[in-house]
């Protein structure tokens, strides 16, 4: 307990993958900063909830400051907040474009910069981006250029940051997901989405959590884009 207990910051923590990551890191005895626009306070005093839009640098500043002042350190950041709006390219609106860049790119940039500044003080840290297998394996019938543009940027930034910080004790990885059963996908779409995966099913949130916990403990792995996609990246 106390100052030796590790601290994870999870973005997009109110539901879906992020909410289960909060539980998984608590199960590993981390203290957790959980942030999203609608996040509610927790009864668990080892979880601090920081409401706010992750595109806004002030949300990132509050999340990292809460981690440092309440828990004393930042060990892990999972950049999980993200949006997915599939549309034919010419139908994307300016508002879609701003939302994608705000949540997926600014939402990564601000909090990652602030988290790394804290990790550098201790010479230790781990950052994970949550991206999509669509970046390198676009699917006919799932047009989603702005997902590829933004999540592809995160994949590239993952490798770049991994090399920049490799000798300073900070590992940087990403998981590129197939379609996962979260509130993002209504149940009536699941059968159709199952068929998009060579394994024949959508992913479960536990498949994603297991992959992130693997990366957490994989001390010789950095700059990895780990595909958790039921075989989509292998072919079809």
Ligand X SMILES: NC(=O)c1ccc[n+]([C@@H]2O[C@H](COP(=O)([O-])OP(=O)(O)OC[C@H]3O[C@@H](n4cnc5c(N)ncnc54)[C@H](OP(=O)(O)O)[C@@H]3O)[C@@H](O)[C@H]2O)c1
The least CB distance from residue 168 to ligand X, in Å, is 26
**130 touching ligand X, by CB under 6 A:** yes
Interface stretch with ligand X, choices 61-69, 74-82, 120-128, 214-222 (CB under 6 A): 74-82
The least CB distance from residue 127 to ligand X, in Å, is 14
Instruction: Name the nearest CA neighbour of 42 among 66, 77, 78.
Output: 66
Measured distance CA(46)–CA(79) in Å, rounded: 20
Among residues 4 and 188, whose Cβ is nearest to ligand X? 188
Q: Residue 25 has what DSSP assignment? A: H
Count of residues interacting with ligand X (CB under 6 A) = 29
CB neighbours of 199 closer than 8 A, spacing ≥ 6? Answer: 230, 231
**42 touching ligand X, by CB under 6 A:** no
The least CB distance from residue 103 to ligand X, in Å, is 4
Measured distance CA(100)–CA(121) in Å, rounded: 32
Among residues 121 and 236, whose Cβ is nearest to ligand X? 236
Interface stretch with ligand X, choices 2-10, 116-124, 174-182, 214-222 (CB under 6 A): 174-182
What's phi and psi for 11, nearest 5 deg? -95, 160
Among residues 68 and 205, whose Cβ is nearest to ligand X? 205
Instruction: Name the nearest CA neighbour of 154 among 137, 182, 175.
Output: 175
Binder to ligand X among 7, 9, 10, 17 (CB under 6 A)? 17
**36 touching ligand X, by CB under 6 A:** yes
Which positions from 134 through 163 interact with ligand X, judged by CB under 6 A? none
- Look at the block and give the residue holding tokens 């973005």: 11
Measured distance CA(164)–CA(161) in Å, rounded: 5
**211 touching ligand X, by CB under 6 A:** no
CB neighbours of 29 closer than 8 A, spacing ≥ 6? Answer: 5, 6
- Look at the block and give the residue holding tokens 């950052």: 127
Asked if 123 and 169 count as a contact pair (C-beta separation under 8 A), the reply is yes
Binder to ligand X among 76, 80, 148, 233 (CB under 6 A)? 80
User: Going residue by residue from 96 to 125, which x/- string records binding to ligand X, judged by CB under 6 A?
Assistant: -------x----------------------
Measured distance CA(103)–CA(117) in Å, rounded: 21
Measured distance CA(71)–CA(68) in Å, rounded: 5
Binder to ligand X among 22, 48, 55, 111 (CB under 6 A)? 55
**177 touching ligand X, by CB under 6 A:** yes
Q: Residue 180 has what DSSP assignment? A: B
Which positions touch ligand X (CB under 6 A)?
A: 12-18, 36-39, 53-55, 80-84, 103, 130, 132, 177, 179-180, 182-185
């Amino acid at each position: 307990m106390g100052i030796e207990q590790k601290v994870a910051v999870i973005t997009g923590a109110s539901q879906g993958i992020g909410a289960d990551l909060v539980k998984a890191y608590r199960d590993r005895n981390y203290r957790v900063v959980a942030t999203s626009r609608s996040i509610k306070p927790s009864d668990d005093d080892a979880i601090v909830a920081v409401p706010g839009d992750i595109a806004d640098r002030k949300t990132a500043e509050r999340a990292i400051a809460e981690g440092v002042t309440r828990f004393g350190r930042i060990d892990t950041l999972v950049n999980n907040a993200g949006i997915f709006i599939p549309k034919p390219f010419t139908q994307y609106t300016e508002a879609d474009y701003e939302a994608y860049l705000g949540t997926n790119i600014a939402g990564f940039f601000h909090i990652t910069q602030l988290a790394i500044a804290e990790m550098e003080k201790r010479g230790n840290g781990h950052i994970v981006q949550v991206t999509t297998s669509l970046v390198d394996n676009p699917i006919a019938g799932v047009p989603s250029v702005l997902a590829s543009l933004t999540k592809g940027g995160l994949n590239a930034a993952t490798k770049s940051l991994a090399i920049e910080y490799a000798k300073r004790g900070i590992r940087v990885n990403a998981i590129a997901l197939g379609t996962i059963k979260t509130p993002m996908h209504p149940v009536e779409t699941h059968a159709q989405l199952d068929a998009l995966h060579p394994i024949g099913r959508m992913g479960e949130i536990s498949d994603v959590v297991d992959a992130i916990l693997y990366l957490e403990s994989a001390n010789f792995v950095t700059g990895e884009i780990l595909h958790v996609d039921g075989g989509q990246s292998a072919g079809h």
